[in-house]
Each structure stands twice: as structure tokens, then as C-alpha cells.
Amino acid sequence: MPTRLLGLPPWLPGVASMVDVRLLAMTDDPEELVCRCARNDYYDGKIPDDDFPTVMNGVGGDTVDEKQATLVKKLMLRGHWGVFEHPQMTLWFRVSRSCMAQITRHRHVSFDIQSMRYVDFSEVDPTSEEDIKRPRTWDQEKVSTREGTRAIEGPVEERRELIDETYERCVEAYNQLVDAGMPKEDARMLLPIGTKVNITASMNVRAALHIISMRGAGDAQAEIQELADGVRDVLEEHMPTTMRIWNENQKAIERQRLSP
């Protein structure tokens, strides 16, 4: 088995690999929908019949944008998260099976996951961060987790070699068993938990904010923090007012109240 003690390994040591998060579909005008649904509770007309400026009459602000910001801020600070359940979005992302086990704990999200039972993983590149997630702390001398702070012993080069050789051997063994006729659903047991799979996930905006709040926290594991950052990027692009107010008022927002 070749070693890689010199130069940079293919998975870019010391450089965090961001999770690839892509938007497949999203409710049109999600912030307008939030406001329309919130206004419906106290509006004496029929919100489908009136244009948005009319629906927003009575909300503080000189322009429709200002009124929208006023209402969104009031909803957030008062904990009225139900109206954020109306806009929906569907995401595609690629994460390790380890991260998959964490994100699928969110029960208000619908998931479809690439099957290791039916999909052939023989082309997985054990040296590529695109295919297998590397341990974040492989090159660190000390690490802090929820379990405390501890030193990591041994030369960095030896750790890197151990990781590379183990991943390469796991993929090689998987291929040998599949080539020998073993079903993929059984041979997959040998693939590392860091092996990446493609996932589609549909959720409402409240669930997405909950993911950002819980999984983007500093004590969350590194890969799922990257996933939460990707979800945040989608919302910041498509719901800029909501995310600006969210970012400006973090101390006033209790994250547990987001939980559906």
C-alpha cells in the first residue's frame, strides 16, 4: 500500500471541505407568503383577493419592504413560528453516512437517500474528500469536544497514513466482495461511515431555521455545521429580510422555541 508522507494529500489537509447544498425547489415569494398568512388572522378582507400592499395596510413602515420587515421581526421576537411553516423548500446535498444519521433526526423534514443497497459504490475514490469525509481533527495536536479537551498523540504523518490506508483497504475489500458475487447490500457493511451519499430533503422554513439554530451551533460536529451553513446560504438568498432580522436578533431568539 503506498504511503503519502510527502506533499499534500488529495483531500487538502487543514482545509475544511464545505458541504455541497443545492436548492431544487422553493415556494414562490416565501416572505410574502409568511406575511400574508400572518395578516390573515387579523385581516377583515380575503387575502387572496387583495394585492400585497393592501394586505399590509396597518403594519408599521413607509414602504411595503419596511412593513414586511416590521411584521417578520414582530413574529420572530414573539415566537410566532407557525407562519414560517407555510413556505416550503427542497434541497439536495451530499454528506457522509455519519452526518446523515444526525440530520435525519429532524422528524419534520422528509428525506430520500441514495441507496447503498442498489447503487454501486465500487467507483468511490478513497483518496477524495468528494467521496469520503476525512476526520476534521486529523492534523490537530489538541481537540475540544462536548466530552472535554484532550491531546491527540502521535505524529500527524502517521495519522494521515493510517486514515488513507484504512479507507483504501475498506473500498478495496468492498470491490473484492462485489466482484466475487456478494450482494451490494452485504458488501456495503465494509464501507467507512465517512462514505458520502446524496440526499434530497423537503422542509418548511421553520424546520430549516431549526436546523440552522441547532446544527450551526459551535458545539455541533464540523460536517453538520457545514450543512447548516449551506441551508443558511439558501435562506439568505431567497429570504433576505427574514435572515437579516434573524442574524440581528439572535440573543433575543430562544432556539428551543423553534422546535416544532
Catalytic residue positions, numbered: 215
- CB burial readout 233-253, b (16+ within 10 A) else e: ebbeebbebbbebbeeeeeeb
* C-alpha cell belonging to residue 51: 394585492
Contact 230, 93 (CB under 8 A): yes
Which residue's C-alpha cell is 504511503? 3
Query: What DSSP state is assigned to residue 84?
Result: G
**SS3 at position 28:** coil
Which amino acid does the sequence have at 67?
K
Alpha-carbon distances, residue 165 vs 63, 172, 207 (angstroms):
61, 10, 39
